[in-house]
Chains A and B, each alone.
Chain A
């Protein structure tokens, strides 16, 4: 079945450093979404990417969708302590399915 992997599993940075997490799907995706889950919280939607090669920015966050629509990345510039949490990519396959397949997640720790 479809699998979505993320690397790294865990990243510890000093506040102000940059951070990147990478997401790879075993199959081509119709779109990819990114969610953030704070410790003890529930996933919160960040963004959705649909087009091949698409790049979107939200303040210090930059999201990319690969040309083959099988990989994606999230880059955070100048991390802050409020960025702490687990970042999940979630892929949606083609066809009629509305099922999201979540990645394994990257836990980000930011040291002040």
Chain B
């Protein structure tokens, strides 16, 4: 399978614990995005990487959230001191850098986080 993969698919944690999610984009895709989606809502942008550089970060992202893409391939999203309000589906997407404006994003299956 050459699509975007995410690990784990499900995570249950207790409030106050730290969690880390991993995303492996489609190879050769140099752009990587993280989104958060809650039930009945559209995906909400969290952050964006081009290669290893984090170029954009949502103002909604508190300082408990951090993302990295150290070698420009896979990415990790860490949430420290989780809160119940962090419960959501965390989606990763990747896209190639193509000439022009074409910028289709390919989404992974997501990591569903439940904070008890």
Binding site for B on A (CB under 8 A): 4, 30-31, 33, 41-45, 48, 50, 88, 90, 92, 97-105
Contacts and interface: CB of A to CB of B under 8 A. Distances in A.
Given A42-B107, A105-B42, 12 more contacts: A30-B101, A33-B104, A43-B93, A43-B105, A44-B107, A98-B33, A98-B48, A98-B55, A100-B43, A100-B105, A102-B43, A103-B42
Interface of B: 31, 33, 35, 40-45, 48, 50, 55-56, 58, 91, 93, 101-110
Closest 8 CB pairs of A and B: A102-B42, A42-B107, A45-B104, A102-B43, A43-B107, A99-B45, A88-B42, A105-B42
Nearest to B46: A99
B45 A100 contact: yes
B27 to A, nearest CB: 18
B56 A98 contact: yes
5 contacts: A42-B110, A45-B104, A100-B45, A102-B35, A104-B42
A33 B101 CA distance: 11
Contacts of A45: 104-106
Contacts of A92: 103
A104 B39 CA distance: 11
A43 B56 contact: no
Contacts of B109: 41-42
